[in-house]
Amino acid sequence: MHSLTLLYKALLRLYPQDCRAWCAREMRDAFQRAAEEHRVLGRAALVRFGLAELSGLLVEAGAAWIAKVTSSRYMRGFWIPTTMRRPGQSPEDWCPPGARVLSDVLEAQKRVDFHLRHMMDAISDHDFKRARFHSEEDLRARNQ
């Protein structure tokens, strides 16, 4: 494996664990393909690409940590990373019963937040038809 890819892989560890579980593999694959493409363009192009990617990775890893610490929505969505379903794994194989209930609650909470947010936006825009729609959806989500 190329040293740039190894460095990239090492820097991916700077991300919070839940982020890594979500997309580290995909990021690495996309990076490898882009790196292969730049490699044929010459050393200068590869160095420029590498610098942009690695600095972008550092910035985004910092941003992910800030989001993790400051955003309650983030915490709600990701606070038990071990319950995240792997690609290709069916929901039945994935969740232990307790975690399933927790996951449903988190999902319902997410829907409630979503409709509440959009209802407030609609009211501030004086779009009462849209506000009513989100209000009804909010009620439905709460009753589920």
Partner 1 sequence: MRHVEQQPEASGRPLTESVLLILLSLADKPRHGYALMKDIETLSAGRVRMTTGTLYGALRRLVEDDWIERFDQEDTSREKQAYRLTSVGRRQMAAELNRMKQLTRAAAARLRGSEACIP
- Calculate the CA 10 to chain-centre distance: 20
Q: What are phi and psi of 71, to 5 degrees?
A: -105, 120
How many chain residues bind partner 1 (CB under 8 A)?
Answer: 33
67-96: contacts with partner 1 (CB under 8 A) = 67, 71, 73-74, 77, 87-88
Interface pick for partner 1 out of 13, 41, 42, 56 (rule CB under 8 A): 56
Q: Does 60 participate in binding partner 1 (rule CB under 8 A)?
A: yes
CA distance linking residue 116 with residue 139, whole number of Å: 10
The sign of the CA dihedral 122, 128, 134, 138 is positive
- Is 136 a binding residue for partner 1 by CB under 8 A? The answer is no
Shortest reach from residue 53's CB to partner 1, in Å = 5
Return the H-helix or E-strand segment holding 19.
helix 17-39
Stretch that binds partner 1, among 39-47, 65-73, 96-104, 135-143 (CB under 8 A): 65-73
Token representation of residue 73: 């929505």
How many CA atoms are closer than 13 Å to the CA of 35, on its beta-carbon side? 21
Choose which of 114, 133, 135, 137 interacts with partner 1 (CB under 8 A): 114
Q: Which two tokens stand for residue 18?
A: 């839940």
Give the interface with partner 1 as residue ranges (CB under 8 A): 19, 22-23, 26-27, 29-31, 33-34, 52-53, 56-61, 63-64, 67, 71, 73-74, 77, 87-88, 114, 117-118, 121, 124-125
